Amino acid sequence: MTDLGKQLSRTHDLSTKVTRLFQKRAQAAQERFTERVQGAYAKHVADLMSKPMSPWDVWTDWSRYAVDFAQRSTLFWDTIRSRGNQYVEHVQAGQPPVLHFDYETVLDARTFQRPVNYALLRIVPPEGVSIDPKRRPYVIIDPRAGHGPGIGGFKDDSQVGVALREGHPVYFVMFYPQPEPGQTLLDVTEAERQFVHKVRELHPESPKPVIVGNCQGGWAAMMLAAADPDEMG
What is the predicted pLDDT for the residue at 44? 73
What is the predicted pLDDT for the residue at 75? 97
Question: Which H or E run contains 64?
Answer: helix 55-92
14, pLDDT greater than 90 = no
Domain with CATH 3.40.50.1820 in the chain: 103-227
Q: What percent of the chain has pLDDT over 90?
A: 38
Distance, CA of 132 to CA of 206 (rounded, Å): 10
Under the banding of pLDDT at 50, 70 and 90, the label for residue 93 is confident
Nearest of 215, 220, 221 to residue 147 by alpha carbon: 215
Under the banding of pLDDT at 50, 70 and 90, the label for residue 43 is confident
Tell me which amino acid residue 134 is: K
What is the predicted pLDDT for the residue at 13? 80
The one-character DSSP state at 41 is I
Cβ 137 vs Cβ 212: under 8 Å = no
Q: Indicate the range of 57-71, 101-115, 166-180, 210-224 predicted with least confidence.
A: 210-224
What is the predicted pLDDT for the residue at 177? 81
Q: Which of 13-22, 173-182, 209-218 has the highest mean pLDDT?
A: 173-182
Q: Name the CATH superfamily, with its identifier, for domain 103-227.
A: Alpha/Beta hydrolase fold, catalytic domain (3.40.50.1820)
Under the banding of pLDDT at 50, 70 and 90, the label for residue 111 is very high
What is the predicted pLDDT for the residue at 197? 92
Burial class (CB within 10 angstroms; exposed 0-12, middle 13-18, buried 19+) of 196: buried
Question: Which H or E run contains 171?
Answer: strand 170-175
Average per-residue pLDDT in the chain?
86
What is the predicted pLDDT for the residue at 2? 62
Burial 103-113 (b: 16+ CB within 10 A, else e): beeebbbeebe
The one-character DSSP state at 114 is S
What is the predicted pLDDT for the residue at 119? 94
What is the predicted pLDDT for the residue at 233? 67
Give the pLDDT confidence of 137-188 residue by residue, as tens digits.
999 988 876 566 777 777 777 788 888 888 999 999 988 888 899 998 889 8
118, pLDDT greater than 80 = yes
Distance, CA of 61 to CA of 54 (rounded, Å): 11
* Cβ within 8 Å of residue 230, ≥6 positions away: none
Tell me which amino acid residue 123 is: I
Under the banding of pLDDT at 50, 70 and 90, the label for residue 124 is very high
Summarize the confidence of residues 53-73 as an average pLDDT: 89
